[in-house]
Amino acid sequence: MPKLSDLLVPAPLRKTPKPGESGVPNQPAPQDLKDNPPERPTDYQRLGQQALEAPIESVAWIDQRLATSGFLTGMLFRKVPKGTNWFYTLGSATMIAFVSQAITGVFLAMFYTPSTTQAYASIAHINNDVFLGQLVHGMHKWGSSVMVILIFLHMGRTFFFGAYKYPRELNWVIGVVLLILTMTMAFTGYLLPFDQRSYWASIVGININGTGPIVGPYLSDFLRAGPELGATTLSRFYAIHMLLVPGAIIALIGAHLYLVMKLGTTAPPWMKMDKPKVAAPVAQLDAGVEGNGAAPSNGSGPA
Amino acid sequence: MNGADEAPQQRVKPDPPGYFEGESMTRRRAFTIAAQGLGGIAGAAIVLPAVGFAVAPIFHRGKERWEAVGPVSDFVEDTYRQVVFTETEGIGDAGKTTAYVRKSSAELEEEPGKYVAVSNRCAHLGCPVRFVEAAGNFICPCHGGVYDFQGKRIGGPPVRPLDQFQTRVRNGQVEVGPRYSVTNQMEPVRARDPGEFTGGIWEYLYPPRPSTFPAP
């Protein structure tokens, strides 16, 4: 890893310089402190100095109690393989799309009424009367399509780069669950405006659920909360859309990211492997060659 | 560690802490089982009511509902009259549904003196079908399902004939009641959702739901 400039690294994370390495040249010791007393800072200067250090001191105060700097350093400055490219940003892009959905969703919920008689009117109120309401609603509406597109592109990247293979199978499984949850969000969110399109699309979607043998009919009764689409259906979809599934998505994104950090990312398949380092021949080890020559892992042994 | 003169003896496993002679279970183990059991009971006390609350509507059947849709003189044998009535109460227009009603016809070998109410819910995926007078057929706008005059499937993706509603006459008014589905032989069965086959083995693969009314 190339050395990062100290300006980019927060002070608590900086490596302490080794003796003689710091940029300050060694000052000659003063001959006589009585003849040349060091300048004492005034109270104001000391206060100013303390004020300057306050932000970093408070960060250090928290870090001493949380001990997160090691984790943060490992996470932010972790090594990535050669050949990492723009395709590797699709996962983060999907997450940003989710964050956008979460934020706009929270603000839409402040104006939305999940009642069959008022839902459409409340959406119309958001679009027509609320300041920037049409923009926020549009961000949520179009952002949902963006998130579905991005999650599929991210899945395709993982598949075609072979990044689902050992030891990352579990992360693939978590990703598939996240895909299903995202589709659940798209399905339950579609009903909420309660206009003709969302009503009939939800009827068709619930009936497709019902075509599964044996459990299908009960599943569609569960989704509708009864034999017909009714008042409870809308509030049920609303609760699933804004409470149940987002919580599960947040938890699983956490697990997904943890595994990415734990296992690291893969190099693209077109990258050649580094030349393998040659270990010392076994005979040499048996002979008990003195010094470093016995260590096979340092790569400096004779080929 | 002890003197060499001591005879080598079998190593005895030391009693775990809190163990008393003759006990079948240590205190630690008893407390572990008790704590896990209590945790399980507490978890079940939270989860079971929530799950029951969420799945209860599957087993709940609402009140039987009949609504008058017009005097008997409004309905004839050779064509349908479209009526709109409330199927689900309390949700305004979204709870309304459409049926096509006619008098039963002797030509089609139906029981005389009855009224037939055909639901406009397509048996494919639930879009609204329309009765096209000129063709004498029901046609679905979504995926091209076509039904004949009686509601039997004659084309497109639907899996069974159109649903019907029970009918009766009260005070000279035709009333429509609960929904039911029919097999391809026009035998009434309990209401199924669109997309589900009826009759024969399908009655077991798509079992009737407790939330629907028995077939007439």
Chain A within 8 Å of B195 (Cβ-Cβ)? Answer: yes
Q: Which residues of A touch B126 (CB under 8 A)?
A: 200, 203-204, 206-207
Of the CA atoms within 13 Å of residue B76, those in its CB half-sphere come to 2
Question: How far is B156 from B148, CA to CA, in rounded Å?
Answer: 12
Q: Is residue B214 part of a domain?
A: no
Q: What is the layout of strands, in order, in the sheet containing B130-132?
A: B130-132, B137-139, B146-147, B153-155
B94: DSSP letter:
G
Q: For residue B65, what are its two tokens?
A: 């509902």
Distances (CA, A) of B174 to B89, B114, B181, B209: 20, 10, 20, 27
Q: Which residues of B touch A207 (CB under 8 A)?
A: 125-126, 193-195
* B184 and B80 co-located in one domain: yes
- Disruptive mutation site among B47, B55, B58 for chain A (greatest number of A CBs within 10 Å): B58
* B40 and B73 co-located in one domain: no
Q: Is residue B84 part of a domain?
A: yes
How sure is the predictor about A294, in pLDDT bands with cuts at 50, 70 and 90?
A: very low
User: Min CA distance, A197 vs chain B (Å)?
Assistant: 11
Task: Give every CB contact of residue B30 below 8 A, 6+ residues apart in sequence.
Answer: none
Q: Is residue B71 part of a domain?
A: yes
Instruction: List, for residues A76-112, the tens digit of each pLDDT value.
Output: 888 889 899 999 999 999 999 999 999 999 999 999 9
* B55 and B73 co-located in one domain: no
Chain B from 18 to 37: CB within 8 A of any A CB? none
* B92 and B52 co-located in one domain: no
Q: Is residue B165 part of a domain?
A: yes
User: Closest to A214 (Cβ–Cβ): which among B57, B87, B205?
Assistant: B205
- Contact in structure between B198 and A222 (CB atoms under 8 Å): no
pLDDT of A77: 87
Chain B from 35 to 54: CB within 8 A of any A CB? 54
Instruction: List, for residues B159-203, the tens digit of each pLDDT value.
Output: 999 999 999 999 999 999 999 999 999 999 999 999 999 988 999
Query: What's the distance, Cα to Cα, between the start and end of chain B in Å?
Result: 92
* B52 and B120 co-located in one domain: no
- Contact in structure between A171 and A108 (CB atoms under 8 Å): no
Q: Do B125 and A204 touch (CB under 8 A)?
A: yes
Listed range (A19-23, A48-52, A286-290, B43-47) with the worst mean pLDDT? A286-290
Question: How far is A290 from A280, CA to CA, in rounded Å?
Answer: 13
- Contact in structure between B150 and B168 (CB atoms under 8 Å): no
**Sign of the C-alpha dihedral computed for residues A142, A144, A149 and A150 taken in this order:** positive
Q: For residue A232, what are its two tokens?
A: 């409870």
- Disruptive mutation site among B61, B89, B125, B190 for chain A (greatest number of A CBs within 10 Å): B125
B121: DSSP letter:
B
Question: How far is B98 from B118, CA to CA, in rounded Å?
Answer: 9
- pTM of the full structure: 0.78
pLDDT of B1: 47
Annotated domain spans of chain A: 86-263
Q: Label residue B47 exposed, middle or buried (CB < 10 Å: 0-12, 13-18, 19+).
A: exposed
pLDDT of B41: 98
Vertex A96, ends A92 and A102: CA angle to 5°? Answer: 145
Q: How many domains does chain B have?
A: 2
Q: Which residues of B touch A215 (CB under 8 A)?
A: none
Nearest partner of A282 among A291, A294, A272, judged by Cα: A294
* B52 and B147 co-located in one domain: no
Q: Which amino acid is at A302?
A: P
pLDDT at B25 over 80: no
pLDDT of B116: 94
Number of other CB atoms surrounding residue B182 within 10 Å: 23
Question: How far is A182 from A73, CA to CA, in rounded Å?
Answer: 31
Provide DSSP, A26-83.
Answer: PPPPPS-TTTSPPPPPPHHHHHHHHHHHHHHHHHHHHHHHH--HHHHHHHHT----TT
Q: Is residue B210 part of a domain?
A: no
Q: What are phi and psi of B84, to 5 degrees?
A: -120, 130
- A217-249 in b/e burial notation, b at 16+ Cβ within 10 A? bbbbbbbbbbbbbbbbbbebbbebbbeebbeeb
Residues A142-149, mean pLDDT to the nearest whole number: 97
CATH topology of domain A86-263: Cytochrome Bc1 Complex; Chain C (1.20.810)
Q: What are phi and psi of A228, to 5 degrees?
A: -130, 155
pLDDT of A79: 86
Q: Which residues of B touch A214 (CB under 8 A)?
A: 205-207
* B86 and B133 co-located in one domain: yes
User: Min CA distance, A216 vs chain B (Å)?
Assistant: 7
Torsion, Cα of A101, A104, A110, A113 (10° steps): -50
Q: Is residue B215 part of a domain?
A: no
Question: Is the peptide bond prior to A217 cis by the omega test (within 30 degrees of 0)?
Answer: no
- Contact in structure between B57 and B211 (CB atoms under 8 Å): yes
Chain A within 8 Å of B197 (Cβ-Cβ)? Answer: no
Q: Is residue B170 part of a domain?
A: yes
Q: For residue A4, what are its two tokens?
A: 């990062």
How sure is the predictor about A286, in pLDDT bands with cuts at 50, 70 and 90?
A: low
* B102 and B185 co-located in one domain: yes
* B85 and B155 co-located in one domain: yes
Average pLDDT over chain B reads 89
Range of the domain at B25: 10-60
* B96 and B79 co-located in one domain: yes
Nearest chain A residue to B52, by CA: A222
pLDDT of B185: 92
Tokens 């042994």, located at residue: A301
Question: How far is A118 from B91, CA to CA, in rounded Å?
Answer: 10
Residue after which a domain boundary falls, among B60, B76, B97: B60
Which residues are bridge partners to B84 per DSSP?
B98
Residues A265-273, mean pLDDT to the nearest whole number: 88
* B21 and B107 co-located in one domain: no
* B88 and B160 co-located in one domain: yes
- Contact in structure between A143 and A97 (CB atoms under 8 Å): yes
Question: How far is B140 from B158, CA to CA, in rounded Å?
Answer: 10
pLDDT of A291: 47
Q: Which residues of A touch B94 (CB under 8 A)?
A: 116, 194, 199, 229
Question: How far is B112 from A83, CA to CA, in rounded Å?
Answer: 80
User: Closest to B87 (Cβ–Cβ): which among A206, A211, A228?
Assistant: A228
Distances (CA, A) of A302 to A168, A275, A293, B56, B118: 36, 15, 8, 76, 90
Q: Is residue B212 part of a domain?
A: no
Q: Which run of H or E residues covers position B36?
A: helix B27-59
Instruction: List, for residues A216-252, the tens digit of each pLDDT value.
Output: 999 999 999 888 888 889 999 999 999 999 999 999 9
Q: Report the Cα B63 to chain-centroid distance in Å.
A: 15
